Structure 1
Amino acid sequence: MKIAIDTLPLSSGHRFRGMGMYTRNLIDSLIIESRNSKDVTIDAFDFLNNKDRLKNFDLLHYPYFDLFKTSLPLYSSKPFVVTVPDVIPLIYPKYYPPGVRGRIKYTYQKIALSRAVGVITISETSKKDVVRFLNIPQQKIFVTYLAPNFKIAKVNNIQKLKIAKKYNIPHNFVLYLGDVNWNKNVVSLIEAIKKTDQTLVIVGKQAASVDYDKSHIENAPILEIQNKYSNDSRVLRLGYVQNDDLNAIWQMATLYCQPSLYEGFGLPLLEAFDAGVPVIASKTQALVEVGEDACEYFDPHDVVGLSRKISSLVQNSAERNKLLTKGKARLKDFSWRNTAKETIAAYKLALA
């Protein structure tokens, strides 16, 4: 079975974001895993610029899906599978309006996706959503869990002090990593932090961005955060951070908080487990699915409740240590090798 994987996310705007990291890790892991298999070979290249090569493969894999932009072929001479990580814009259409063109392309994308022999998604939560919103039969959907994007490497106290000075980070802080889209609920996290004596460190390009459409509803949380908290010494927006620095910041954090109203998976939970950082997360389907009993959960609509959770956990080292132990145990259930094995199994079932 010869498999070709599209590398478009590695050369587009996705390369430093979720689907780019997923594609890179998946390809690397699949190549390694295929060496242990006599009946599977993996190749990866840009489909758009190498259409003549596609005929040489048994199955094509598009490791990305855009709801409101064309990312799939309407007709394919070869069977194909598609990775659909989540459909959050369909769950909250008010905050992710597609526009007229987007609605037209959404119809196109649904038709194209219906012609796939299989759909890969990243959680049981997302699987239910794909069935519900995209009308894909559940027997055609395969769940392959993710794993941390990079391995935490231990740093010493001197290195931590150097990073703390570089970014002006205090000794104790709550960390948030990711975008600040509406569903991420970061504004509520900031409001909760302001009711405590803690500092919030936000890592991610979006929170520090200045080049965006300030009139678009999707960007309203970014604008609100920048207008209210740009000069707030207890809300630090670091922007994009290189992996070496991020590695240290992870290990310096007192807590990690994932305040999302909705997620397709919740990858930062696993990265926090790996870094040895206790996690508080909103009690939403995918986050509970990923974190199980290794997180302290809260109602994402209750700012006061979240602030109390933060304060309580900061002051309770015994509870933090319990979460660390459970996090390390839960992390063992996730690896890119497992993801690769599950993906190969999905390929075989899709072609069966």
Structure 2
Amino acid sequence: MPTTVAINGRFLGRQATGVDRFAHEVVRCIDQLVAEQDPATSGLSFELLVPPAVSVDAQQFPHMQVRQVGRHVGRGGGQLWEQISLPLAARGALLLNLCNAAPLLYPHQVTVMHDAAPVRVPQAYSRAFRSWYGVMAPWVGRVARRVLTVSEFSRRELATAYRIPGRKIGVLPMSGDHMLRLPESEDVRHKFGLSDRPYVLAVSSASYHKNFRLVADAIRMLGKVDYDVVIVGGGGRVFQAVRDDQITESHDADGRVRRLGYVDDADLKALFRGAGCFVFPSLYEGYGLPPVEAMTLGCPVLASSLPSVREACGAAVLYFPPTRPRELGALLTHVMQDSALREKLREQGLARVRPYSWRATAARLLGEISPWLPQR
């Protein structure tokens, strides 16, 4: 009889973030490995457990069972479902949590924690969220069989912030190769009313630590430039988001900074393809998936000089201090005016991401959880 691995599918019921992207791609690739009868999946069956309000297309993960469990519990039901319904449904199985949160009272689990942002940048999160993570993350770190994360930087952060023993934490590679698979919108400039001028692209949520204002301030200090800045992304309920007026007060009269809000994957891919460069000004990251996505699509990258981002991007991007708008502005103009430099960055980025894939991430994860499964 196959050994069951239960997967926490709560992420399928919300608008995707980078953490949710990780979960979706890992589950998709595990499903593919099952279909191919990869030796890593021998003797295993995978069951995706989702809240009752979440509907999953049977063709999305055709080689694993999808089961709705628990009851509709209304507002705040996500956490209640995760703490009560999920562990009850997973009884007897190894439970795999891919998006930071996990049940407190289910020790037979492996949990992926992406970073220690609620501790390191508390002003970016609501008080309730910070309080919950201050309890949940250290507790799960102690009781779980294994904790996984996405960079060596985050492994150190989890060990320090949540006192999780470093030997208990494994590191998984990440990838941007999902961007190659996605459809691409046509005429994205017309759809969003963008001008014909070149543009710089920034992508992330409007959370404080994503530091969007740095880009707008950099453009304001430069005065007149011959390119626009397009900012994509929405805020989340748990985030203390940057207010619209905090961004727009840095705009100039020509409206060179455009905020598009949340866009779908096809639009995002087209915006990456059309950008002169991508800028990533974050103050804190566990990994930094957006610059990896940009490099995967051949978009030159300028990124905040953070240890985690340097770990992900290496020498393939240009770095800037995330608190100095004048330096960022000068770097933006230099890159936007130098086509040879942009081409060099494009080639370096493509070379940097080539060895990585979500399939490799999924295979590595299966290797990480294998010690906690019965001998097959």
- Common topology (TM > 0.5): yes
Whole-Å Cα distance in 2 between the matches of residues 41 and 175 of structure 1? 42
Aligned counterpart for 2:369 among listed residues 325, 339, 347: 347
How far off is 1:134 after superposition? 0.8
CA shift digits 1:80-108 (9 cap, x unpaired): 01111111120123454635x85366225
User: Does 2:301 align with 1:279?
Assistant: yes
Q: Give the gaps of 5 or more residues in structure 2.
A: 51-68, 70-80
User: Does 2:110 align with 1:74?
Assistant: no
How far off is 1:231 after superposition? 7.5
Aligned counterpart for 1:64 among listed residues 99, 110, 124: 99
Whole-Å Cα distance in 2 between the matches of residues 264 and 23 of structure 1? 15
After the TM superposition, which of the residue ranges 310-319 and 87-96 deviates more from structure 2? 87-96
Contact 1:21 1:149 survives alignment (8 Å): no
Whole-Å Cα distance in 2 between the matches of residues 284 and 50 of structure 1? 36
Whole-Å Cα distance in 2 between the matches of residues 2 and 153 of structure 1? 29
Say which SS state the counterpart of residue 260 (structure 2) adopts: strand
Q: Residue in 2 aligned with 1:106?
A: 134
Aligned counterpart for 1:235 among listed residues 236, 246, 257: 257
Q: Residue in 1 aligned with 2:112?
A: 83
Q: Residue in 1 aligned with 2:331?
A: 309
Q: Which amino acid aligns with 1:248?
A: A
TM-score, length-normalised on structure 2? 0.80
Aligned counterpart for 1:205 among listed residues 228, 234, 237: 234
Whole-Å Cα distance in 2 between the matches of residues 104 and 163 of structure 1? 40
How far off is 1:133 after superposition? 0.7
Contact 1:172 1:254 survives alignment (8 Å): yes
CA shift digits 1:293-352 (9 cap, x unpaired): 110111112211111111111111111111111111111122110110111111024559
CA shift digits 1:252-274 (9 cap, x unpaired): 10000001122111111121112
Say which SS state the counterpart of residue 175 (structure 1) adopts: strand
Aligned counterpart for 1:151 among listed residues 173, 179, 187: 179
User: Does 2:54 align with 1:24?
Assistant: no
After the TM superposition, which of the residue ranges 243-252 and 114-123 deviates more from structure 2? 243-252
Q: Which amino acid aligns with 1:224?
A: Q
Aligned counterpart for 1:163 among listed residues 185, 188, 200: 188
Q: Which amino acid aligns with 1:103?
A: S
* Alignment coverage as a number of residue pairs: 332
TM-score, length-normalised on structure 1? 0.85
Cα separation, partners in 2 of 1:169 and 1:41, compared to 1, 3 Å: same
Whole-Å Cα distance in 1 between the matches of residues 143 and 46 of structure 2? 22
CA shift digits 1:16-54 (9 cap, x unpaired): 222322222111111212431224332211264465542
Contact 2:172 2:365 survives alignment (8 Å): yes
Q: Give the gaps of 5 or more residues in structure 1.
A: 66-70
Aligned counterpart for 2:91 among listed residues 55, 58, 64: 55
Aligned counterpart for 2:45 among listed residues 41, 46, 51: 41
User: Does 2:93 align with 1:93?
Assistant: no
Q: Residue in 2 aligned with 1:120?
A: 148
Say which SS state the counterpart of residue 180 (structure 2) adopts: coil
RMSD: 2.8
Cα separation, partners in 2 of 1:308 and 1:281, compared to 1, 3 Å: same
Whole-Å Cα distance in 1 between the matches of residues 190 and 335 of structure 2? 25
Contact 2:229 2:256 survives alignment (8 Å): yes
CA shift digits 1:115-138 (9 cap, x unpaired): 001111111111110000111111
Q: Residue in 2 aligned with 1:68?
A: none
Whole-Å Cα distance in 2 between the matches of residues 250 and 104 of structure 1? 36
Aligned counterpart for 1:293 among listed residues 307, 310, 315: 315
Contact 1:261 1:284 survives alignment (8 Å): yes
User: Does 2:345 align with 1:323?
Assistant: yes
How far off is 1:141 after superposition? 0.6
Whole-Å Cα distance in 2 between the matches of residues 95 and 245 of structure 1? 27
Contact 1:180 1:222 survives alignment (8 Å): no
